[in-house]
Structure 1
Protein backbone atom coordinates (compact mmCIF):
# COMPACT_ATOMS: atom_id res chain seq x y z
CA UNK A 1 0.00 0.00 0.00
CA UNK A 2 1.40 3.50 -0.90
CA UNK A 3 2.13 6.11 1.73
CA UNK A 4 -0.61 8.37 0.35
CA UNK A 5 -3.26 5.63 0.65
CA UNK A 6 -2.11 4.81 4.18
CA UNK A 7 -2.32 8.45 5.26
CA UNK A 8 -5.76 8.85 3.65
CA UNK A 9 -7.09 6.01 5.78
CA UNK A 10 -5.92 7.78 8.95
CA UNK A 11 -7.41 11.23 8.28
CA UNK A 12 -10.62 10.55 10.19
CA UNK A 13 -8.77 9.26 13.26
CA UNK A 14 -6.44 12.26 12.92
CA UNK A 15 -9.35 14.69 13.22
CA UNK A 16 -10.87 12.69 16.08
CA UNK A 17 -7.57 12.66 17.95
CA UNK A 18 -7.48 8.87 18.07
CA UNK A 19 -4.01 8.32 16.54
CA UNK A 20 -0.91 7.42 18.48
CA UNK A 21 1.91 10.05 18.52
CA UNK A 22 3.96 8.39 15.78
CA UNK A 23 1.05 8.20 13.31
CA UNK A 24 -0.06 11.68 14.27
CA UNK A 25 3.41 13.00 13.35
CA UNK A 26 3.36 11.13 10.03
CA UNK A 27 0.03 12.69 9.09
CA UNK A 28 1.26 16.17 10.09
CA UNK A 29 4.36 15.79 7.95
CA UNK A 30 2.39 14.43 4.98
CA UNK A 31 -0.13 17.28 5.11
CA UNK A 32 2.68 19.82 4.69
CA UNK A 33 3.30 18.84 1.06
CA UNK A 34 0.17 16.89 -0.10
CA UNK A 35 -2.49 19.27 -1.43
CA UNK A 36 -4.89 16.42 -2.13
CA UNK A 37 -4.92 15.27 1.50
CA UNK A 38 -5.20 18.90 2.61
CA UNK A 39 -8.37 19.23 0.56
CA UNK A 40 -9.70 15.88 1.84
CA UNK A 41 -9.16 16.78 5.47
CA UNK A 42 -10.89 20.16 5.04
CA UNK A 43 -13.93 18.48 3.49
CA UNK A 44 -13.92 15.75 6.14
CA UNK A 45 -13.67 18.30 8.93
CA UNK A 46 -16.59 20.29 7.46
CA UNK A 47 -18.72 17.17 7.25
CA UNK A 48 -17.92 16.19 10.83
CA UNK A 49 -18.76 19.68 12.08
CA UNK A 50 -22.16 19.57 10.33
CA UNK A 51 -23.22 16.14 11.50
CA UNK A 52 -21.50 16.07 14.90
CA UNK A 53 -24.24 15.34 17.45
CA UNK A 54 -24.54 17.06 20.79
CA UNK A 55 -23.58 14.18 23.06
CA UNK A 56 -24.73 15.65 26.35
CA UNK A 57 -26.82 18.79 25.84
CA UNK A 58 -27.38 19.26 29.54
CA UNK A 59 -23.68 19.95 30.06
CA UNK A 60 -23.40 22.41 27.15
CA UNK A 61 -26.57 24.41 27.91
CA UNK A 62 -27.03 26.68 30.87
CA UNK A 63 -29.91 26.40 33.31
CA UNK A 64 -31.30 29.70 31.97
CA UNK A 65 -31.45 28.19 28.48
CA UNK A 66 -33.51 25.23 29.64
CA UNK A 67 -35.91 27.44 31.57
CA UNK A 68 -36.43 29.62 28.50
CA UNK A 69 -36.76 26.52 26.32
CA UNK A 70 -39.51 25.07 28.53
CA UNK A 71 -41.39 28.36 28.43
CA UNK A 72 -41.17 28.50 24.62
CA UNK A 73 -42.44 24.93 24.33
CA UNK A 74 -45.45 25.74 26.47
CA UNK A 75 -46.19 28.86 24.44
CA UNK A 76 -45.83 26.92 21.17
CA UNK A 77 -48.33 24.34 22.39
CA UNK A 78 -50.81 27.04 23.15
CA UNK A 79 -50.32 28.67 19.72
CA UNK A 80 -50.77 25.28 18.05
CA UNK A 81 -54.14 24.88 19.72
CA UNK A 82 -55.14 28.35 18.54
CA UNK A 83 -53.81 28.04 14.98
CA UNK A 84 -53.84 25.23 12.49
CA UNK A 85 -51.09 22.65 12.22
CA UNK A 86 -49.99 24.05 8.83
CA UNK A 87 -49.13 27.43 10.30
CA UNK A 88 -47.22 25.72 13.09
CA UNK A 89 -45.05 23.75 10.70
CA UNK A 90 -44.24 26.90 8.71
CA UNK A 91 -43.30 28.78 11.86
CA UNK A 92 -41.11 25.96 13.11
CA UNK A 93 -39.16 25.78 9.85
CA UNK A 94 -38.61 29.54 9.87
CA UNK A 95 -37.06 29.34 13.36
CA UNK A 96 -34.27 26.97 12.25
CA UNK A 97 -30.83 28.49 12.24
CA UNK A 98 -28.69 28.42 9.03
CA UNK A 99 -26.57 25.61 10.46
CA UNK A 100 -29.63 23.44 11.06
CA UNK A 101 -30.85 24.16 7.53
CA UNK A 102 -27.59 22.79 6.18
CA UNK A 103 -28.17 19.68 8.29
CA UNK A 104 -31.58 19.24 6.65
CA UNK A 105 -30.02 19.68 3.20
CA UNK A 106 -27.35 17.12 4.02
CA UNK A 107 -29.85 14.62 5.38
CA UNK A 108 -32.13 15.11 2.36
CA UNK A 109 -29.20 14.57 0.00
CA UNK A 110 -28.23 11.40 1.80
CA UNK A 111 -31.82 10.15 1.65
CA UNK A 112 -32.04 10.83 -2.10
CA UNK A 113 -28.72 9.04 -2.67
CA UNK A 114 -29.95 6.04 -0.70
CA UNK A 115 -33.22 5.87 -2.68
CA UNK A 116 -31.37 6.08 -6.01
CA UNK A 117 -29.00 3.33 -4.92
CA UNK A 118 -31.90 1.05 -4.01
CA UNK A 119 -33.64 1.75 -7.34
CA UNK A 120 -30.42 1.11 -9.27
CA UNK A 121 -29.85 -2.17 -7.46
CA UNK A 122 -33.37 -3.33 -8.36
CA UNK A 123 -33.26 -2.19 -11.97
CA UNK A 124 -29.71 -3.25 -12.79
CA UNK A 125 -29.80 -5.64 -15.66
CA UNK A 126 -28.50 -9.04 -14.76
CA UNK A 127 -27.49 -10.97 -17.82
CA UNK A 128 -29.29 -14.27 -18.05
CA UNK A 129 -27.16 -17.33 -17.62
CA UNK A 130 -26.58 -18.83 -21.01
CA UNK A 131 -27.93 -22.30 -21.15
CA UNK A 132 -25.28 -24.84 -21.94
CA UNK A 133 -26.49 -27.30 -24.52
CA UNK A 134 -26.49 -30.86 -23.28
CA UNK A 135 -23.37 -32.76 -24.15
CA UNK A 136 -23.75 -35.16 -27.04
CA UNK A 137 -21.93 -38.39 -26.37
CA UNK A 138 -19.86 -40.06 -29.06
CA UNK A 139 -22.39 -42.88 -29.30
CA UNK A 140 -25.32 -40.47 -29.74
CA UNK A 141 -23.40 -38.50 -32.38
CA UNK A 142 -22.68 -41.69 -34.30
CA UNK A 143 -26.35 -42.70 -34.07
CA UNK A 144 -27.40 -39.30 -35.45
CA UNK A 145 -25.04 -39.60 -38.41
CA UNK A 146 -26.20 -43.15 -39.16
CA UNK A 147 -29.82 -42.04 -39.09
CA UNK A 148 -29.12 -39.18 -41.50
CA UNK A 149 -27.16 -41.44 -43.82
CA UNK A 150 -30.01 -43.95 -43.81
CA UNK A 151 -32.55 -41.24 -44.64
CA UNK A 152 -30.31 -39.82 -47.37
CA UNK A 153 -29.98 -43.16 -49.13
CA UNK A 154 -33.69 -43.94 -48.74
CA UNK A 155 -34.75 -40.60 -50.23
CA UNK A 156 -32.20 -40.90 -53.04
CA UNK A 157 -33.45 -44.38 -53.93
CA UNK A 158 -37.07 -43.18 -53.94
CA UNK A 159 -36.16 -40.30 -56.24
CA UNK A 160 -34.16 -42.42 -58.68
CA UNK A 161 -36.73 -45.24 -58.78
CA UNK A 162 -39.46 -42.69 -59.50
CA UNK A 163 -37.39 -41.09 -62.25
CA UNK A 164 -36.52 -44.47 -63.79
CA UNK A 165 -40.15 -45.64 -63.83
CA UNK A 166 -41.60 -42.31 -64.94
CA UNK A 167 -43.92 -42.58 -67.94
CA UNK A 168 -43.07 -40.22 -70.76
CA UNK A 169 -44.86 -39.33 -73.99
CA UNK A 170 -43.06 -38.30 -77.11
CA UNK A 171 -45.29 -35.31 -77.79
CA UNK A 172 -45.29 -33.86 -74.25
CA UNK A 173 -42.55 -32.33 -72.08
CA UNK A 174 -41.82 -33.93 -68.71
CA UNK A 175 -42.77 -32.01 -65.54
CA UNK A 176 -39.77 -32.36 -63.17
CA UNK A 177 -40.55 -29.59 -60.68
CA UNK A 178 -40.89 -31.93 -57.66
CA UNK A 179 -37.84 -33.98 -58.66
CA UNK A 180 -35.68 -30.88 -59.07
CA UNK A 181 -36.66 -29.63 -55.59
CA UNK A 182 -35.92 -33.03 -54.03
CA UNK A 183 -32.54 -33.10 -55.78
CA UNK A 184 -31.54 -29.73 -54.31
CA UNK A 185 -32.40 -30.90 -50.80
CA UNK A 186 -30.38 -34.10 -51.23
CA UNK A 187 -27.40 -32.16 -52.61
CA UNK A 188 -27.46 -29.95 -49.52
CA UNK A 189 -27.61 -33.00 -47.25
CA UNK A 190 -24.79 -34.72 -49.16
CA UNK A 191 -22.45 -31.80 -48.47
CA UNK A 192 -23.07 -32.19 -44.76
CA UNK A 193 -22.57 -35.97 -44.81
CA UNK A 194 -19.27 -35.72 -46.68
CA UNK A 195 -17.85 -33.74 -43.75
CA UNK A 196 -18.67 -36.57 -41.34
CA UNK A 197 -16.47 -39.60 -40.60
CA UNK A 198 -17.88 -42.16 -43.06
CA UNK A 199 -16.38 -45.14 -44.87
CA UNK A 200 -14.75 -44.73 -48.28
CA UNK A 201 -17.36 -46.77 -50.16
CA UNK A 202 -20.23 -44.63 -48.84
CA UNK A 203 -18.28 -41.46 -49.61
CA UNK A 204 -17.76 -42.61 -53.20
CA UNK A 205 -21.45 -43.47 -53.55
CA UNK A 206 -22.41 -40.00 -52.30
CA UNK A 207 -20.13 -38.45 -54.94
CA UNK A 208 -21.69 -40.58 -57.71
CA UNK A 209 -25.19 -39.69 -56.56
CA UNK A 210 -24.30 -36.01 -56.33
CA UNK A 211 -23.34 -35.86 -60.00
CA UNK A 212 -26.72 -37.30 -61.02
CA UNK A 213 -28.60 -35.08 -58.60
CA UNK A 214 -26.85 -31.95 -59.88
CA UNK A 215 -27.79 -32.83 -63.47
CA UNK A 216 -31.40 -33.37 -62.38
CA UNK A 217 -31.53 -30.12 -60.37
CA UNK A 218 -30.23 -28.13 -63.34
CA UNK A 219 -32.93 -29.36 -65.72
CA UNK A 220 -35.73 -27.02 -66.65
CA UNK A 221 -39.12 -27.46 -64.99
CA UNK A 222 -40.48 -28.93 -68.22
CA UNK A 223 -37.70 -30.87 -69.93
CA UNK A 224 -37.52 -32.85 -73.10
CA UNK A 225 -37.37 -36.62 -73.08
CA UNK A 226 -33.73 -36.85 -74.26
CA UNK A 227 -32.54 -34.96 -71.17
CA UNK A 228 -34.36 -37.36 -68.86
CA UNK A 229 -33.14 -40.38 -70.79
CA UNK A 230 -29.58 -39.18 -70.40
CA UNK A 231 -29.96 -39.11 -66.60
CA UNK A 232 -31.62 -42.54 -66.63
CA UNK A 233 -28.72 -44.02 -68.56
CA UNK A 234 -26.32 -42.55 -66.00
CA UNK A 235 -28.23 -44.23 -63.17
CA UNK A 236 -28.07 -47.62 -64.94
CA UNK A 237 -24.44 -47.19 -65.98
CA UNK A 238 -23.29 -46.47 -62.43
CA UNK A 239 -25.57 -49.21 -61.07
CA UNK A 240 -26.67 -46.68 -58.45
CA UNK A 241 -29.84 -48.41 -57.27
CA UNK A 242 -27.93 -51.58 -56.38
CA UNK A 243 -25.23 -49.60 -54.57
CA UNK A 244 -27.88 -47.69 -52.62
CA UNK A 245 -29.54 -50.93 -51.47
CA UNK A 246 -26.15 -52.20 -50.24
CA UNK A 247 -25.50 -48.94 -48.40
CA UNK A 248 -28.96 -49.05 -46.82
CA UNK A 249 -28.19 -52.43 -45.29
CA UNK A 250 -24.98 -50.99 -43.86
CA UNK A 251 -26.70 -47.91 -42.43
CA UNK A 252 -29.78 -49.60 -41.03
CA UNK A 253 -30.63 -47.10 -38.31
CA UNK A 254 -33.27 -49.32 -36.70
CA UNK A 255 -30.70 -52.06 -36.19
CA UNK A 256 -28.26 -49.61 -34.69
CA UNK A 257 -30.91 -48.30 -32.29
CA UNK A 258 -31.56 -51.80 -31.02
CA UNK A 259 -27.84 -52.37 -30.41
CA UNK A 260 -27.53 -49.04 -28.61
CA UNK A 261 -30.48 -49.82 -26.34
CA UNK A 262 -28.86 -53.10 -25.32
CA UNK A 263 -25.94 -51.14 -23.94
Structure 2
Protein backbone atom coordinates (compact mmCIF):
# COMPACT_ATOMS: atom_id res chain seq x y z
CA UNK A 1 0.00 0.00 0.00
CA UNK A 2 1.18 3.50 -0.83
CA UNK A 3 2.82 5.16 2.19
CA UNK A 4 1.03 8.43 1.38
CA UNK A 5 -2.30 6.63 1.81
CA UNK A 6 -1.15 5.11 5.10
CA UNK A 7 -0.28 8.48 6.59
CA UNK A 8 -3.23 10.49 5.36
CA UNK A 9 -5.58 7.70 6.46
CA UNK A 10 -4.79 8.34 10.09
CA UNK A 11 -6.66 11.62 10.28
CA UNK A 12 -10.05 10.05 9.64
CA UNK A 13 -9.50 8.00 12.82
CA UNK A 14 -8.45 10.86 15.07
CA UNK A 15 -11.97 11.70 16.26
CA UNK A 16 -12.57 15.14 17.71
CA UNK A 17 -14.87 16.78 20.23
CA UNK A 18 -16.06 19.83 18.31
CA UNK A 19 -18.83 22.26 19.07
CA UNK A 20 -22.13 21.22 17.51
CA UNK A 21 -23.11 22.85 14.27
CA UNK A 22 -25.87 21.66 11.97
CA UNK A 23 -24.85 21.55 8.34
CA UNK A 24 -26.68 20.52 5.21
CA UNK A 25 -25.98 17.01 3.95
CA UNK A 26 -23.18 17.83 1.55
CA UNK A 27 -19.52 17.05 1.08
CA UNK A 28 -18.93 19.62 -1.67
CA UNK A 29 -19.24 23.34 -0.90
CA UNK A 30 -18.91 26.49 -2.98
CA UNK A 31 -16.85 29.39 -1.62
CA UNK A 32 -17.61 32.87 -2.94
CA UNK A 33 -16.03 36.19 -2.04
CA UNK A 34 -18.41 39.15 -2.51
CA UNK A 35 -15.37 41.25 -3.46
CA UNK A 36 -14.08 38.92 -6.20
CA UNK A 37 -15.42 37.09 -9.22
CA UNK A 38 -13.49 33.86 -8.68
CA UNK A 39 -15.33 30.89 -7.18
CA UNK A 40 -13.54 28.22 -5.16
CA UNK A 41 -14.63 24.87 -3.76
CA UNK A 42 -14.27 22.90 -0.53
CA UNK A 43 -14.61 19.12 -0.49
CA UNK A 44 -14.59 16.86 2.57
CA UNK A 45 -12.60 13.78 1.68
CA UNK A 46 -12.62 10.25 3.03
CA UNK A 47 -9.04 9.25 3.80
CA UNK A 48 -9.90 5.55 3.60
CA UNK A 49 -12.76 3.72 1.95
CA UNK A 50 -13.84 0.83 -0.23
CA UNK A 51 -13.50 1.19 -3.99
CA UNK A 52 -13.92 4.97 -3.98
CA UNK A 53 -14.18 6.83 -7.26
CA UNK A 54 -14.63 10.41 -8.38
CA UNK A 55 -18.09 11.17 -9.69
CA UNK A 56 -18.86 13.47 -12.60
CA UNK A 57 -19.65 16.44 -10.36
CA UNK A 58 -16.29 16.24 -8.61
CA UNK A 59 -14.42 15.85 -11.89
CA UNK A 60 -16.25 18.78 -13.49
CA UNK A 61 -15.68 20.99 -10.45
CA UNK A 62 -11.99 20.16 -10.40
CA UNK A 63 -11.74 20.81 -14.14
CA UNK A 64 -13.23 24.27 -13.53
CA UNK A 65 -10.55 25.02 -10.91
CA UNK A 66 -7.02 26.32 -11.34
CA UNK A 67 -5.34 24.75 -8.30
CA UNK A 68 -5.86 21.63 -6.19
CA UNK A 69 -5.07 22.29 -2.54
CA UNK A 70 -4.82 19.15 -0.37
CA UNK A 71 -3.61 18.75 3.21
CA UNK A 72 -0.18 17.93 1.82
CA UNK A 73 1.08 17.99 -1.74
CA UNK A 74 0.92 14.32 -2.65
CA UNK A 75 2.91 14.95 -5.82
CA UNK A 76 5.94 16.14 -3.86
CA UNK A 77 8.68 13.60 -4.69
CA UNK A 78 10.06 13.84 -1.16
CA UNK A 79 6.82 12.83 0.59
CA UNK A 80 7.48 9.09 0.73
CA UNK A 81 11.04 9.44 1.92
CA UNK A 82 10.19 11.92 4.65
CA UNK A 83 7.32 9.84 5.94
CA UNK A 84 9.29 6.61 5.91
CA UNK A 85 12.14 8.25 7.83
CA UNK A 86 9.83 8.99 10.78
CA UNK A 87 8.17 5.57 11.08
CA UNK A 88 10.78 3.79 13.16
CA UNK A 89 11.51 4.20 16.85
CA UNK A 90 15.29 3.90 16.43
CA UNK A 91 17.99 3.70 19.11
CA UNK A 92 17.42 -0.01 19.64
CA UNK A 93 13.83 0.50 20.82
CA UNK A 94 10.90 -1.69 19.86
CA UNK A 95 7.30 -2.30 20.89
CA UNK A 96 8.44 -4.46 23.78
CA UNK A 97 9.86 -1.36 25.50
CA UNK A 98 6.44 0.31 25.57
CA UNK A 99 4.21 -2.31 27.18
CA UNK A 100 4.12 -5.35 29.43
CA UNK A 101 5.24 -8.74 28.16
CA UNK A 102 1.63 -9.93 28.19
CA UNK A 103 0.45 -6.94 26.13
CA UNK A 104 3.44 -7.24 23.82
CA UNK A 105 2.58 -10.83 22.95
CA UNK A 106 -1.08 -9.90 22.52
CA UNK A 107 -0.26 -6.99 20.19
CA UNK A 108 2.15 -9.01 18.04
CA UNK A 109 -0.40 -11.81 17.65
CA UNK A 110 -2.96 -9.18 16.65
CA UNK A 111 -0.69 -7.30 14.21
CA UNK A 112 1.24 -10.04 12.47
CA UNK A 113 -1.52 -11.86 10.52
CA UNK A 114 -3.02 -8.56 9.42
CA UNK A 115 0.19 -6.80 8.37
CA UNK A 116 1.78 -9.90 6.86
CA UNK A 117 -0.75 -9.46 4.05
CA UNK A 118 1.03 -6.16 3.26
CA UNK A 119 4.40 -7.91 3.12
CA UNK A 120 5.62 -6.84 6.58
CA UNK A 121 7.53 -9.41 8.63
CA UNK A 122 7.46 -9.59 12.40
CA UNK A 123 10.92 -8.11 13.03
CA UNK A 124 10.04 -5.11 10.86
CA UNK A 125 6.72 -4.61 12.66
CA UNK A 126 8.38 -4.56 16.10
CA UNK A 127 10.42 -1.45 15.22
CA UNK A 128 7.62 0.76 13.88
CA UNK A 129 6.04 3.45 16.07
CA UNK A 130 2.63 2.33 17.36
CA UNK A 131 0.70 5.14 15.71
CA UNK A 132 1.95 4.12 12.27
CA UNK A 133 1.04 0.51 12.97
CA UNK A 134 -2.49 1.70 13.77
CA UNK A 135 -2.57 3.38 10.38
CA UNK A 136 -1.33 0.26 8.62
CA UNK A 137 -4.20 -1.70 10.17
CA UNK A 138 -6.83 0.43 8.41
CA UNK A 139 -7.27 -1.84 5.36
CA UNK A 140 -8.15 -4.74 7.68
CA UNK A 141 -11.13 -2.73 8.97
CA UNK A 142 -12.84 -2.85 5.56
CA UNK A 143 -14.38 -5.85 3.86
CA UNK A 144 -13.28 -5.12 0.32
CA UNK A 145 -10.37 -5.73 -2.04
CA UNK A 146 -9.60 -2.12 -2.86
CA UNK A 147 -9.12 0.42 -0.07
CA UNK A 148 -8.08 3.87 -1.25
CA UNK A 149 -8.42 7.58 -0.41
CA UNK A 150 -10.23 10.42 -2.15
CA UNK A 151 -7.14 12.59 -1.65
CA UNK A 152 -5.09 10.27 -3.86
CA UNK A 153 -7.83 10.08 -6.48
CA UNK A 154 -8.05 13.88 -6.61
CA UNK A 155 -4.27 14.22 -6.91
CA UNK A 156 -4.15 11.65 -9.70
CA UNK A 157 -7.00 13.27 -11.67
CA UNK A 158 -5.53 16.76 -11.26
CA UNK A 159 -2.25 15.47 -12.66
CA UNK A 160 -4.07 13.90 -15.60
CA UNK A 161 -5.82 17.15 -16.55
CA UNK A 162 -2.79 19.34 -15.89
CA UNK A 163 -3.96 21.29 -12.82
CA UNK A 164 -1.30 22.52 -10.40
CA UNK A 165 -1.26 21.10 -6.88
CA UNK A 166 -0.11 22.43 -3.52
CA UNK A 167 -0.37 21.56 0.17
CA UNK A 168 -1.94 23.36 3.11
CA UNK A 169 0.94 22.09 5.23
CA UNK A 170 4.23 20.30 4.76
CA UNK A 171 4.92 16.65 5.52
CA UNK A 172 6.96 17.87 8.49
CA UNK A 173 3.93 19.80 9.80
CA UNK A 174 1.70 16.75 9.55
CA UNK A 175 4.21 14.38 11.11
CA UNK A 176 4.74 16.84 13.96
CA UNK A 177 1.21 16.00 15.08
CA UNK A 178 2.23 12.36 15.44
CA UNK A 179 5.40 13.25 17.27
CA UNK A 180 3.45 15.30 19.83
CA UNK A 181 1.87 12.07 21.12
CA UNK A 182 4.18 10.13 23.46
CA UNK A 183 5.10 6.61 22.32
CA UNK A 184 3.64 5.03 25.44
CA UNK A 185 0.29 6.68 24.79
CA UNK A 186 0.42 5.52 21.19
CA UNK A 187 1.08 2.02 22.55
CA UNK A 188 -1.99 2.25 24.81
CA UNK A 189 -4.18 2.77 21.76
CA UNK A 190 -2.63 -0.22 20.03
CA UNK A 191 -3.08 -2.45 23.08
CA UNK A 192 -6.72 -1.36 23.30
CA UNK A 193 -7.28 -2.37 19.68
CA UNK A 194 -5.62 -5.74 20.24
CA UNK A 195 -7.65 -6.51 23.37
CA UNK A 196 -10.96 -6.45 21.49
CA UNK A 197 -9.46 -7.82 18.27
CA UNK A 198 -10.06 -4.53 16.45
CA UNK A 199 -13.84 -4.79 16.73
CA UNK A 200 -14.40 -1.32 18.20
CA UNK A 201 -12.12 0.28 15.58
CA UNK A 202 -13.97 -1.50 12.80
CA UNK A 203 -17.38 -0.55 14.17
CA UNK A 204 -16.42 3.13 14.34
CA UNK A 205 -14.76 3.15 10.94
CA UNK A 206 -17.72 1.50 9.20
CA UNK A 207 -20.16 3.86 10.94
CA UNK A 208 -18.11 6.85 9.76
CA UNK A 209 -17.93 5.42 6.26
CA UNK A 210 -21.72 5.02 6.19
CA UNK A 211 -22.28 8.58 7.42
CA UNK A 212 -19.85 9.78 4.77
CA UNK A 213 -21.69 7.91 2.02
CA UNK A 214 -24.87 9.63 3.19
CA UNK A 215 -23.01 12.99 3.01
CA UNK A 216 -24.06 13.51 6.63
CA UNK A 217 -21.39 15.70 8.20
CA UNK A 218 -23.45 16.12 11.37
CA UNK A 219 -23.61 12.37 11.95
CA UNK A 220 -19.92 12.06 11.10
CA UNK A 221 -19.16 14.57 13.83
CA UNK A 222 -21.43 12.76 16.30
CA UNK A 223 -19.62 9.47 15.72
CA UNK A 224 -16.29 11.18 16.26
CA UNK A 225 -17.64 12.73 19.46
CA UNK A 226 -18.55 9.27 20.77
CA UNK A 227 -14.85 8.37 20.83
CA UNK A 228 -13.66 9.42 24.28
CA UNK A 229 -10.29 7.73 23.81
CA UNK A 230 -6.65 8.74 23.83
CA UNK A 231 -6.78 11.56 21.29
CA UNK A 232 -9.23 13.79 23.13
CA UNK A 233 -6.32 15.59 24.81
CA UNK A 234 -4.68 16.21 21.41
CA UNK A 235 -7.75 17.71 19.73
CA UNK A 236 -6.15 21.14 19.56
CA UNK A 237 -3.08 19.85 17.70
CA UNK A 238 -4.93 17.39 15.48
CA UNK A 239 -7.73 19.63 14.23
CA UNK A 240 -8.25 23.08 15.70
CA UNK A 241 -4.75 24.52 15.24
CA UNK A 242 -4.45 23.00 11.80
CA UNK A 243 -7.79 24.46 10.67
CA UNK A 244 -6.79 27.92 11.91
CA UNK A 245 -3.37 27.66 10.26
CA UNK A 246 -4.98 26.75 6.94
CA UNK A 247 -7.31 29.77 6.73
CA UNK A 248 -4.62 32.37 5.79
CA UNK A 249 -3.22 29.97 3.17
CA UNK A 250 -6.66 29.38 1.68
CA UNK A 251 -7.43 33.11 1.64
CA UNK A 252 -4.16 33.93 -0.11
CA UNK A 253 -4.62 31.24 -2.76
CA UNK A 254 -8.20 32.35 -3.42
CA UNK A 255 -7.03 35.86 -4.27
CA UNK A 256 -4.96 34.40 -7.12
CA UNK A 257 -6.78 31.25 -8.24
CA UNK A 258 -10.06 29.44 -8.36
CA UNK A 259 -9.07 26.61 -6.02
CA UNK A 260 -10.41 23.18 -5.14
CA UNK A 261 -9.67 22.35 -1.50
CA UNK A 262 -9.75 18.70 -0.44
CA UNK A 263 -9.37 17.92 3.28
CA UNK A 264 -10.69 15.25 5.63
CA UNK A 265 -14.44 15.74 6.10
CA UNK A 266 -14.10 16.11 9.87
CA UNK A 267 -12.20 19.38 9.25
CA UNK A 268 -15.38 20.94 7.82
CA UNK A 269 -17.64 20.65 10.85
CA UNK A 270 -18.04 22.52 14.11
CA UNK A 271 -17.46 26.01 15.43
CA UNK A 272 -13.76 25.64 14.62
CA UNK A 273 -14.40 23.83 11.32
CA UNK A 274 -13.37 25.30 7.98
CA UNK A 275 -16.92 26.10 6.86
CA UNK A 276 -17.60 28.25 9.91
CA UNK A 277 -14.12 29.81 9.94
CA UNK A 278 -14.46 30.84 6.28
CA UNK A 279 -17.90 32.31 6.93
CA UNK A 280 -16.44 34.35 9.78
CA UNK A 281 -13.92 35.73 7.28
CA UNK A 282 -16.81 37.03 5.16
CA UNK A 283 -17.01 34.30 2.53
CA UNK A 284 -20.29 32.81 1.36
CA UNK A 285 -20.02 29.03 1.77
CA UNK A 286 -22.95 27.06 0.34
CA UNK A 287 -23.68 23.35 -0.16
CA UNK A 288 -23.51 21.98 -3.70
CA UNK A 289 -24.97 18.49 -3.26
TM-score, length basis structure 2: 0.18
Q: Kindly indicate whether structure 1 or structure 2 has the higher relative contact order, using CA contacts under 8 Å at least 6 residues apart.
A: 2
Judging by fraction of residues, say which structure has more strand.
Answer: 2
Judging by fraction of residues, say which structure has more helix.
Answer: 1
Greater C-alpha radius of gyration: 1
TM-score, length basis structure 1: 0.19
